[in-house]
Structure 1
């Protein structure tokens, strides 16, 4: 197993594995209301068995090369994560996303974790276009996309029904050359 330091003491990025089931369920339970405001992430993980099954799916899709899920730990506590999904290697596209419980908010953890994930997608997987989709009301998520140098491409009006409401979804992207340029600017600061 590996852990990538995230620039804050006690913060690291690690792959999520089935043996994290108890910890992952506790994390989801702490943040379920906050995380679930705009996305159904983890909604099917309601007990230890369903959580273990979900984490096994994460592991299987990572092994198949179609998705990657990583947790963010802060002082030994799982507080969120980042993911890459919908890998289309033929066309060089993928999507990224994140989730976070309140205990990890406002520290820049997702931004730093996402830099590692996007670097991996672009440099290791050869992805040319990385997409970020988020509900228009999910301002913290959209702010991360902005900080990472993504460009807003448009809005899919009322395209995502969730919790009895239809949400507008914003589509953002960064292309590999743009990412490399933004990454180099960030390193120079």
Structure 2
């Protein structure tokens, strides 16, 4: 098992594996409405079996090298996560995403965690383009994309059906040379 510090003594990034299904469900329950404003995760993870199944799907993705999921812990409590929803190593593309429960919002955890996984994807897996797809109304996630140095590529109008409403999705991205230049300039 490993953990990566997110820059302070209280928060860290760890793999989010199926054996953590109960802890994951408890976390989702704490933030269900907040997390579910823009993402479908709380609608998929509703009980222990669905929690385990969701995490197993990412264990399977990791084994096939087509996705990854990581939890963010603060003071020993799971409070959110970052993931590669998709990852195509052959074509050098990946889509990153995130979620947080309300108690962890506004602390920079997602930005720091996303930097860790994007750096890994670019440097270790040779990913050239990392995308960030976000509901146009989700100002907090758009702010993360900006802090990560991403460029807004465009808007997919009314492309995301969530809880009976259609949302515009903004597509943001960063390319490996841009990522390295920004990282080396920090």
| Alignment of 1:91 onto 2:91 | yes
TM-score by length of 1: 0.96
Aligned length: 186
C-alpha deviation, 1:61, in angstroms: 0.9
Tell me the residue number matched to 2:116.
116
TM-score by length of 2: 0.97
Tell me the residue number matched to 1:102.
102
Tell me the residue number matched to 1:182.
182
Tell me the residue number matched to 1:39.
39
Tell me the residue number matched to 2:60.
60
In 2, Cα distance between the equivalents of 1:148 and 1:44?
A: 28
Tell me the residue number matched to 1:130.
130
Gapped regions of structure 2 (runs ≥ 5):
none
Tell me the residue number matched to 2:145.
145
Tell me the residue number matched to 2:72.
72
C-alpha deviation, 1:108, in angstroms: 0.4
Classify the secondary structure of the residue corresponding to 2:62: helix
After superposition, give the CA deviation of every residue in 1:125-176 in whole Å (9 maximum; x if it has no partner): 1010111100000110000000010000111111111112110000111000
In 2, Cα distance between the equivalents of 1:171 and 1:88?
A: 17
| Alignment of 1:21 onto 2:14 | no
Structure 1 outlier segments of 4+, above 3 Å: none
C-alpha deviation, 1:89, in angstroms: 1.9
Gapped regions of structure 1 (runs ≥ 5):
none
**CA root-mean-square deviation:** 0.9
